[in-house]
Amino acid sequence: MKNFVVLGGGTAGWFAAFELRRLFGAGVSVTVVESPRVGAIGVGEGGILNFPAALVGRYGIDLDAFLEGTGAVFKLGFEYIGWNNGRDDDVFYHLFHSLPTEGDGRVIDGIAPYWSMLAAHGIGIHHAIYSLPFVLANASQREVRSACEASGGLMPWSLHFDAHRVSAWLKLAGMARQIETHVGNVVELVRDAESGHVHGLRFEGEERTMPCDFLIDASGFARIALQKAMGMQFRSFTDCMILDRAIPFYIPHPRANPHLVTSALAMNAGWMWQIPVRERVGCGYVYSSAHLSEDEALAEIETRLGHEIEPMPTLRFHAGHFPEVWVGNVMAVGLASGFIEPLEATSIGQMLGQLVMFGETVAQSQGVVPQSTISTFNHRNLLDWDGIRDFLCLHYDVRRRDTPFWRDVASRPLPTSYTDLKAAWQLRTPRPVDFNAYRAGHVLHFDATSWFSVGQGVGVVPQAAAQADLGMLPREVVRFAEAFLDSVRIRNAATMHM
């Protein structure tokens, strides 16, 4: 294969092009096709931990140049407001973290003693996270970067960014790597009659056909390859994930420095994201159209914020994914392969994880990839989507019943893969072994401590489960955990009196 084509010039498309160039070097042609009619989707985006790992580690992007060129800012996790009772004083955090080690209560048989000690006493386990004081103090970008570099890995981070600026910056970086671009509207994927493989692309108003040996479809919600050209069946998650609209908009920064977490504010029929970049905050109300009209959603936004907004066009989506994303010589990534909703920045995280899995598959196969390996790839990718779906189901397994939406969410059937875990967590806290089914040999996006953080925050993991953990630990370990609990109480008391 000599001619690789990436269909779509958004974030997913450019990262896919970087992966192809990394895999095959300068001996092949990599072309990103951009439509003049379609722009990048997103008003404020956020990554998870695999974003900086890909950006800096895998693809060798200079962090300083990226920050300067895109206005991106550091992100330390997620903040949830009003998810249990709708009030602004109902707050919990899911902060990025490293797995507990010797220094902060090492894991013993899957139990994180310090975390369990906090949870057993009704204290949020985010108080065990190194980054919490920086979030609460609204630390500056310089302070956060210095702390991250000095922490020895105890303060992992990701980034908040504007998708439009990132796509434009990645394009310049890609062109410097001899990745070509072509602007045009695709009217046909030319396919072989027997194999179904794509061997060319035809464009509106152009006579020549662009040759193609392998196609990566990053065409977003247009889903040109799998849906339009191949008619592949979509696997819907709408039985348990009912949000299907998003109204994006911008607001000025409400703080002296950009907030260090993605805020997720619970609303009457969904939730509102607030994602800071350097100049402003990108926001959006993600809601269920079965419970709210667009006008009602706009009115609720303005009531919640206390001022008028200038909304951008409403985005429509359908929760789910394609069970097979690699078919013949075509692979779909990003929105072209599936989407659930923006919560927990899973879309970009899943895309990057899939590209890593693709790269490992091709490299370890030395480019000779049998169909059985492709089938295994697709199965692993499906399990990844299952894990994301179940993790998001956890967020909506809350106690509030004050609006029709939240009552409807509570009555929806949940996947048995999630309810089985929930039943176990009534007796003990989440364990790494619980998530092996989602891992399937590749990196897990959200480990046991992420599930513990959110599970405690929404009340799915009760205090009794953490208390049971402590009863399984050696007494000496429990004493160390009790000392840590005392230090957290002292620190919290001092903060309250400042």
Q: Which residues are annotated as a binding site for FAD?
A: 9-12, 186, 335, 348
Residue 56: the pLDDT is 96
Residue 472 lies in a domain: no
Amino acid, single-letter form, for residue 119: A
What is 48-74 written as a DSSP string? -THHHIIIIIIT---HHHHHHHH--EE
| Phi and psi, residue 81, nearest 5° | -120, 125
* Residue 164 confidence class, pLDDT cut points 50, 70, 90: confident
- 487: tokens are 């230090």
Residue 207: the pLDDT is 93
Quickly count helices (H) and strands (E) in the chain. 16, 22
Residues with a known catalytic role: 75
Residue 267 lies in a domain: no
User: How confident is the model over 57-115, as pLDDT tens digits?
Assistant: 999 999 999 999 999 999 999 999 999 999 999 999 999 997 765 455 678 888 999 99
Mean pLDDT of the chain: 94
126: left (phi over 0), alpha (psi -120 to 50) or beta: alpha
Burial of 364 (0-12, 13-18, 19+ CB in 10 A): exposed
- 156: tokens are 């992992």
Q: What is the mean pLDDT of residues 134-142?
A: 97
Q: Which residues are annotated as a binding site?
A: 9-12, 75, 186, 335, 344, 348
Whole-number percent of the chain with pLDDT over 90 = 89
The CA–CA distances, whole Å, from 9 to 244, 335, 353 equal 24, 12, 19
262-267/270-276 β-pairing: antiparallel
**Considering only CA atoms, which of 479, 393, 448 is closest in space to residue 113?**
479
Residue 493: the pLDDT is 80
Residue 246 lies in a domain: no
User: Could you write out the three-class secondary structure of 354-405?
Assistant: HHHHHHHHHHHCCCCCCHHHHHHHHHHHHHHHHHHHHHHHHHHCCCCCCCHH
Residue 44: the pLDDT is 73
* Residue 498 confidence class, pLDDT cut points 50, 70, 90: very low
Positive or negative, the CA dihedral 487, 489, 495, 497 is negative
Residue 152: the pLDDT is 87
In degrees, rounded to 5, the angle at the alpha carbon of residue 103 between the alpha carbons of residues 122 and 427 is 35
Residue 261 lies in a domain: no
Residue 443: the pLDDT is 67
Residue 249 lies in a domain: no
Cα(376)–Cα(174) distance, integer angstroms: 30
- Look at the block and give the residue holding tokens 């990566």: 216
User: How confident is the model over 373-419, as pLDDT tens digits?
Assistant: 999 999 999 999 999 999 999 999 999 999 999 999 999 999 999 99
Q: Which residues are annotated as a binding site for L-tryptophan?
A: 344
Whole-number percent of the chain with pLDDT over 70 = 96
Amino acid, single-letter form, for residue 297: A
We report the CATH number of the domain holding residue 8 as 3.50.50.60
Q: What is the mean pLDDT of residues 233-239?
A: 96
pLDDT over threshold 60, residue 468: yes
* Residue 37 confidence class, pLDDT cut points 50, 70, 90: confident
Residue 411 lies in a domain: yes
Residue 277 lies in a domain: no
Question: Which residues lie below 8 Å from residue 347, measured CB to CB, with a gap of 6+?
Answer: 334, 335, 339, 340
Q: How many domains does the chain have?
A: 1
Cα(216)–Cα(17) distance, integer angstroms: 9
Domain extent at residue 223: 3-96+131-239+319-461
pLDDT over threshold 50, residue 497: no
Residue 143 lies in a domain: yes
* Residue 229 confidence class, pLDDT cut points 50, 70, 90: very high
User: How confident is the model over 428-463, as pLDDT tens digits?
Assistant: 999 989 999 898 666 689 989 899 999 999 999 999
